Chains A and B, each alone.
Chain A
Amino acid sequence: MSERQLNRIRGREVGTIFQDPMSSLDPVMRIADQMVPPIMRHLQMNQETARAEAIGWLDRVGIPDAGRRIDAYPFEMSGGMRQRVMIAMALSCRPKLLIADEPTTALDVTIQAQIVELLRELTVETGAAMIFITHDLGLVARFAHKVGVMYAGKLVEFGPVKDIFAHPCHPYTQSLLDTIPPVNQPERRKLTQIPGFPPDMKLPLVGCAFKDRCAAAHEHCFKDTPELSARGPGHRAACFLPEGLGEARHSDAETIPPMVRNSDDRVVVEVFNLHKHFVGRSLTPWRKPPTVRAVNGISLNIREGETLGIVGESGCGKSTVARLLLGLDPVTSGDIYVDGMAQMVFQDPSSSFNPKMTLFDIIQEPLVVTGWGNRAARAERVNELLSQVGLDESYAQRYPSQLSGGQKQRVAIARALAIKPSVVVADEPTSALDVSVRAQIINLMVDLKRQLRVSFVFISHDLLTVSYISDKIAVMYLGEVVEYGPADEIFRHPSHPYTQALIAAVPVPDPVAEEARVKNPLSGELPSPLNLPPGCAFASRCPKATDYCRAEKPILQAYSGTREAACHYAN
């Protein structure tokens, strides 16, 4: 097919939505100039009707004030808004097929829930089919009808969504499902890890592509390549074994004994009424400079060996709290008490390490700076740390660029543990990792916290992971803690409307459960922290908001004995 024939199909027959709307929207063109011409071309409309049509679509995807916003530039919109524009563009030419490639990966859960709901409604309404490409199995469960699982460039399993989730037949699908922290667990089990890496696609492949990472691999797998074969009505899998891993699937998932907690465990971190305001530059000297109230009165405490999870949408101040805890930024007001040292694991593994230093120098740096031991003692300590995080001693002489993302996070953890800190603050440590690697890092942290009795602060926007790893959760909204208490309790019975909305937005990898859930995603986006409303900060998006909420600010107070919530109508 020539490029021109392809172009006719693109747009008219097939619409596409990509992960990063900024790379597919032209940053120097107004939305109108990008949307109207394709509509004119594909639907043979004149300028005026095409523009009206475009505004109609923008309105339909939930862009407020679409008639005016159509003349905006992409950079004037938030990530969620841009993704909506992409969807409007993709659907405006009425394609028969919509291809969405990780359309919500860069977005917050609440915005993701909105976008996914929108996509579902629109495809039903227009009758378009959709191919939804994602690594998030929860999303698949939420709204796909059929699922294809790909591995190393090939489809390894294909079938109706309920079959795939209830009876996965390919070992890869089975392991993938077990890498996700389960929602309702009477006892916590370790997550399944998929060892190794996908095969190098440059080399010729003999046998099954998954053989090196498959627990059920046998002789046959090394000689022949399995083809897709029937497993049920419409359900096919490419594996020699009809049941895949079969009985062996859960055998290695050891249970995690619940943490024994004594009320007299010492408190290692205590935060009282913490504030952090970023004061901008005022444009004119007589005006008050704009102030971002990133953290607005937070009180927390962490005991020895305890893990505190902090969740909330991006921009709510999680990273700021982390930096304050570590003493990287000065506080505006409030008290922080840390018994011992606090150390950090960062989100982005690529900028966490000096590229010029070997792993040995990287891990021993905190020891050198604090003047710990002599060189021989430090070398011994580095080796001990490497083995604690599951890396071979030979890694000490490697450079960061020679490691995968998961290995880098292991090194980051080793460095953080070097000086035996009392608390390790991990800011989104798994967000940049693949699902299978994510499970490895989570398991590692769960092991370490039990063995070393070190406290963790685990910051993430991924509620499922936070509730799996944490003993205690603090839910943040616009620089404040709105709910604070034991992890399972909050996850099972959230009392604050925001926590309820957050949990409702998390897709769970179970199509049956997903069908039963009520889905009314939280509307709107996080308001600007520049000018906070006088009453409840959540009032603009809260389904239960009343005039009283808008006037009177709720304070964090005891709720049901074990936890605290900041809402006039918590239940």
Chain B
Amino acid sequence: MTQEIVALPTRRPLDVSSLPIQGLLRLVSNSRVQLALAILMPIIFLTIFRSVLPLPGPLDTNLRAMMQPPSIEHLFGTDRMGRDLLSRTLAGVQISMFVGFAVAMLALAVGLVMGTLSGFFGGVVDRVTMAITDIFLAFPSLLLAIGLVSVMGTGMLPVVLAISLSDVPRFIRLQRSLVLTLRTRAYIDAARTVKASQFWLMTRHIVPNTIAPLLVAASIAAANAILVEAGLSFLGLGIMPPEPSLGNLIRDGQSYLEQAWWISTLPGVVILLIAIGLHFLSDGIRQVLDPRSRK
């Protein structure tokens, strides 16, 4: 063969989708993401290691230390049954994190399957799925979650199911539009020229290329789920006391705002911090992934 070997160009284009580590590095170098991590990391860290911290259990009552204001002994004070509020707040954060994670994974899994089928096969399947998602999307997600919880009852499992269900249509939509754009790529045609099966096209070419954008959507959905769960519990529709959750902690302290401000306020501050942190995080992720918003 007379063709000479052509050298590699010195400048390699960066492709986030094929190199996860570089994508991660670019994410971490974004200033919003850094701010978000600065806020969230300490909270997450304390929550993970709360069992080794010298704290009473979140359900341990202490009748000799009721309604105590914040002190060295009880940093967040205690409630009307003498339970340590820092311990309860951290337990609440743990529940929030679990809800966020579970909702994101559940919605992602269902959205992935249904969106792929809908986008890939089109036709009747697609039209029915789209009609259903349209109905769901017409309601604000908190309202939808409230409706669903009031049907399914309170507690952890109904809350997770209700929030995921209200997120699923969004994931189906996203996955479907990703599939529709990917379906027109030339590499799909190339595979079709050797009569590759639909299953091959979906599993080799389409689904792997939708994972990165789906994960981004999942991180945003997780953030949203945490806030919705707090909202539901605050309304008395989510996690029920004595099991602590950020929402029902605030609700608990509401009637004592004048005598014991700390019961509601301190968990409230934690929610506020989490909300701000998650906002910066999803903003940063969007900035990194959407080239138009990058300067």
Contacts and interface: CB of A to CB of B under 8 A. Distances in A.
A390 B187 contact: no
Contacts of B194: 341, 343, 365-366, 369-370, 419
Interface string A508-544: 0000000000000000000000000000000000000
Interface string A336-373: 00000111101010011111110000100110011000
Interface in B113-166: none
B295 interface: no
A369 B15 contact: no
A440 B204 contact: no
A95 B2 CA distance: 51
Interface stretch (B5-13, B45-53, B239-247, B266-274): B5-13
A400 B19 CA distance: 12
B15 A399 contact: yes
Contact of A343 (B5, B8, B17, B193): B193
A391 B19 CA distance: 23
B9 A197 contact: yes
Interface string A479-494: 0000000000000000
Most buried by A among B3, B10, B187, B190: B190
A352 to B, nearest CB: 5
A193 B4 CA distance: 10
A346 B192 CA distance: 13
Contacts of B12: 401-402
Contacts of A323: 189
A369 B195 contact: yes
A343 B12 CA distance: 29
A365 B191 contact: yes
A404 B2 CA distance: 20
B187 A354 contact: yes
B3 A346 contact: no
B8 A351 contact: no
Contacts of A388: 1
Interface string A292-328: 0000000000000000000000000000000100111
A435 interface: no
A355 B18 contact: yes
Nearest to B4: A195
A342 B2 CA distance: 26
Contacts of B200: 369
Contacts of A415: 190
B5 A390 contact: yes
B81 interface: no
B17 A356 contact: yes
B191 A346 contact: no
Contact of B186 (A352, A389, A447): A352
Given A369-B196, A399-B15, A344 B189 contact: yes
Interface in B22-57: none
B291 interface: no
A247 interface: no
A175 interface: no
Interface in B175-209: 185-187, 189-196, 200, 204-205, 208-209
Contacts of B191: 365-366, 369
A125 interface: no
A390 B4 contact: yes
A406 interface: yes
B190 A355 contact: no
A356 B209 contact: yes
Q: Which secondary structure dominates chain B's binding surface? A: loop
Interface string A189-205: 00001011100100100
Contact of B3 (A197, A343, A390, A404): A390
Contact of A196 (B7, B18, B192): B7
A64 B1 CA distance: 54
B186 A355 contact: no
A444 interface: yes
A46 interface: no
Given A196-B6, A197-B7, A355-B209, A346 B18 contact: no
A110 interface: no
A227 interface: no
A119 to B, nearest CB: 33
Nearest to A444: B3
Interface in A148-190: none
A440 B7 CA distance: 13
B15 A401 contact: yes
Nearest to B12: A402
Contact of A328 (B9, B14, B193, B209): B193
A348 B193 contact: no
Contacts of A344: 189-190, 193
Contacts of A410: 6
Contacts of A126: none
Contact of A354 (B10, B11, B193, B204): B204
Contacts of A365: 190-191, 194, 196, 204
A401 B187 contact: no
Contact of B18 (A343, A399, A406, A407): A399
Contacts of B187: 351-354, 362
Given A369-B196, A415-B190, A390 B15 contact: no
A47 interface: no
B166 to A, nearest CB: 31
Contacts of B208: 354, 356
A369 B188 CA distance: 13
Most buried by B among A348, A351, A369, A388: A369
Given A344-B189, A346-B189, A419-B194, A406 B6 contact: yes
Given A344-B190, A352-B190, A354-B209, A391 B5 contact: yes
Interface in A364-403: 365-366, 369-370, 387-392, 399-402
A443 B57 CA distance: 77
Contacts of B14: 401
A370 B15 CA distance: 30
Given A341-B194, A344-B189, A355-B209, A447 B17 contact: no
A410 B12 CA distance: 18
Given A355-B17, A399-B15, A401-B18, A392 B5 contact: yes
Contacts of A407: 6
Interface string A45-57: 0000000000000
B193 A346 contact: no
B184 to A, nearest CB: 8
Most buried by B among A354, A362, A365, A404: A354
Contacts of B3: 389-390, 440, 443-444, 447
A354 B205 contact: yes
Most buried by B among A348, A352, A355, A387: A355
7 contacts: A369-B194, A369-B196, A401-B15, A404-B6, A410-B6, A444-B3, A447-B3
Interface of A: 193, 195-197, 200, 203, 323, 326-328, 341-344, 346, 348, 351-357, 362, 365-366, 369-370, 387-392, 399-402, 404, 406-407, 410, 415, 419, 440, 443-444, 447
By Cβ-Cβ distance, the 6 closest A-B pairs, closest first, are: A390-B3, A401-B15, A346-B186, A200-B10, A366-B194, A369-B196
Interface of B: 1-15, 17-19, 185-187, 189-196, 200, 204-205, 208-209
Given A341-B194, A343-B194, 19 more contacts: A196-B6, A327-B192, A327-B193, A344-B189, A346-B186, A346-B189, A351-B187, A354-B204, A366-B191, A370-B194, A370-B195, A390-B4, A402-B8, A402-B13, A404-B6, A404-B9, A419-B194, A443-B3, A447-B3
